[in-house]
Structure formats: C-alpha cells, structure tokens
Amino acid sequence: MAKTVLVTGASAGIGKATAIYLAQNGYNVYGAARRIEKMQDLKNYGIKPIALDVTKDESITVCFEQIFNQAGSIDVLVNNAGFGSEGAIEDVTMQDAKYQMEVNVFGAMRLTQLVLPKMRENNYGKVVNISSVGGKIALPLGGWYHASKFAIEALSDTLRMEVKQFGIDVIVIEPGGIKSEWGDIALESLVRVSGNSAYKEMVKGTEKGFRKTESNNSEPIVIARLIKKGIEANKPKTRYSGGSMAKPLLFLRSILSDKMLERLIMSQTK
C-alpha cells in the first residue's frame, strides 16, 4: 500500500514541488491550501487537492477528516504552509504578529495533534516541519517570521522526543534561498509596514540585498528531494538543510559569536 501524504501550502513553491515529486515516486498525495484554484493542475499527477485554511480550526478538522475517511490514515504530514510577515518589531501590529504565528506555528501543530493518534496506532509516522535557515539565524525586520520558525524548531525537538517511542519520526527541513513567491510577498509587507517609518533606510538596504541575491536562489525541487530523503531514511537526521546559502549560513551561526554574526548581518543591510 502506498503511504498517504498530506502536504500543506501545496499551491506554490516548496509545497507544490514536494507534492508533485512525492506523487511521481509512488506516494498517495493530498495537496492542501487556501487557494484551491491554484492546485487544479496537481490532479494531472494523481494528487488530490483539498481546501485548507490553517488559521481556522474547522477547516483543519474538515481537511483531516476528509483524508482520514478516504485513505484511513495520514502516514506522512508535511507542514509547509507558511509566509513571511516582515517589518520592524516596533511597526508590526499585534494583529499581524498573531496571524503570523497562527499560520506558521499553531496551524501546523493543530494538524500534528490530529494525525498523531493514528500514527501511534500504526507504530509508524513521519512529521516533516518546514522551518528555515531563519529558524536558526534572526535578521533585522523579520522578527515575527523568525519567532515563528524558532518556535517550529523547538516544538519539533520536543515532539521528536515525545513520539519516538511510538515509531514516529519528526524531521525539520531548513531551506535557504528558494525561488518562490515567498520573497515578493515578504518584501511587499516589509515596504508596506516599515517603508516610511524610522526604519526606512534599513528597509532600503534589506530590499537591495534581497534583489541582489534572489537570482542565486535554488529551485524548490531541491527541498522536495530532501523531504523524500528524510521520510525514506531508516534513521532520519533531525534536520536537513538545502537551498542557496543554507549550509554556509548555518556553519557561520555555529562558529561565530552573537556579536560577530550581528556585525556580519548588519553589514549586508547598508
């Protein structure tokens, strides 16, 4: 029997590439996202599109029950749905901050809660949480996004220790620069929130730096392959990183002091 996979955020970017790649490799894949109209082409790969708004508990429950009733279980959960809300901490409203956490953290953890009982019963399961290099390194003007990814890292570590006894693996994926709509959405929010505030010069430097490096970003398939590698490993690593600058940045994080790293980061925002 093919393993059943639920990939959230499957309408674009990493989520879409992962859904397609896993379907091409024999998995029974459900692709979930708010924009179901952007997933109709996934049907060509045998993927089943399903509507999901991870900020609404009713939507999460309906999505889970629909898959559970059709497939009997969700063997692999890929928590990929997310976005980057940018802006200086002083400028970002608490409403926007809470929404960032709802999408990137609470939605993922609620889905995880729903899939775990059947995974425990089956003594098998894979929970893949898409973090970021930004889950280890915080940049200026991205505080709430980084907070959400730091949270995913911590929750994954706790969950891994809790569910290992039931044959369930928890895997963190830390992408670097990836070609997707994520960057444009993040920059739009950055300019809207802080483009005319006391932080406007930092915004200009950040936008310039992003535009300078975006052509070097990796294709989403790089991360899709990492996810497949992780879920098929007998003893998966706790973390896999890939994409533009991911490994060099994580290496720098491991060897530099906080102040040295901050000086390096700030030099790139001028």
Residue pair 254/215 in contact (Cβ under 8 Å)? The answer is: no
11 is catalytic: yes
Catalytic residue among 21, 27, 145, 199: 145
Is residue 131 part of the annotated active site? The answer reads yes
Q: What is the DSSP string of the chain?
A: -PPEEEEESTTSHHHHHHHHHHHHTT-EEEEEES-GGGGGGGGGGT-EEEE--TT-HHHHHHHHHHHHHHHS--SEEEE-------S-TTTS-HHHHHHHHIIIIIHHHHHHHHHHHHHHHHT-EEEEEE--GGGT---TT-HHHHHHHHHHHHHHHHHHHHHGGGTEEEEEEEE-BB-SSHHHHHHHHHHHHHTTSTTHHHHHHHHHHHHHHGGGPBPTHHHHHHHHHHHH-SS--SEEEESBTHHHHHHHHHHS-HHHHHHHHHHT--
Catalytic residue among 3, 11, 21, 136: 11
Among candidate residues 3, 126, 149, 179, the one labeled active-site is 149
Catalytic residue among 16, 30, 126, 131: 131
Catalytic annotation, residues? 11, 131, 145, 149
